Amino acid sequence: MFSIALRAHPIDLTRLGMLVDRFGAEHRLAADDVTKVNLVLDEIVSNAIKHGHPNEADGEIEVSLALDGHLMTILVSDDGIPFNPLDVPAPNLDLPIEERPVGGLGVHIVKAVSETIAYRRENGRNLLTLTMRVGG
Q: What is this structure's pTM?
A: 0.86
- In this prediction, residue 130 carries a pLDDT of 96
Position 31, amino acid: A
The domain in which residue 21 lies consists of 2-133
Total tally of structural domains belonging to the chain: 1
- In this prediction, residue 9 carries a pLDDT of 85
Distance separating the N- and C-terminal Cα atoms of the chain: 19
Spatial distance between the Cα atoms of 40 and 24, rounded to a whole number of angstroms: 14
* Residue ranges of E strands in 1-136: 2-7, 60-68, 71-78, 116-122, 125-133
pLDDT by residue (tens digit) across 20-50?
999 999 999 999 999 999 999 998 998 888 8
Q: pLDDT of the chain along its 136 residues, tens only?
A: 889 999 888 888 899 999 999 999 999 999 999 999 999 999 899 888 887 877 666 789 999 999 999 999 999 999 999 988 888 766 555 555 555 555 555 676 788 889 999 999 999 999 999 999 998 6
Spatial distance between the Cα atoms of 20 and 126, rounded to a whole number of angstroms: 21
The residues near 122 (Cβ < 8 Å, ≥ 6 apart) are none
Strand order in the sheet with 2-7: 2-7, 60-68, 71-78, 125-133, 116-122
Average pLDDT score, the chain: 85
Q: What is the DSSP letter of 94?
A: T
What CATH number does the domain containing 102 carry?
Answer: 3.30.565.10
- In this prediction, residue 121 carries a pLDDT of 96
Distances in Å between the Cα of 127 and the Cα atoms of 62, 97, 116, 124 are: 10, 32, 14, 10
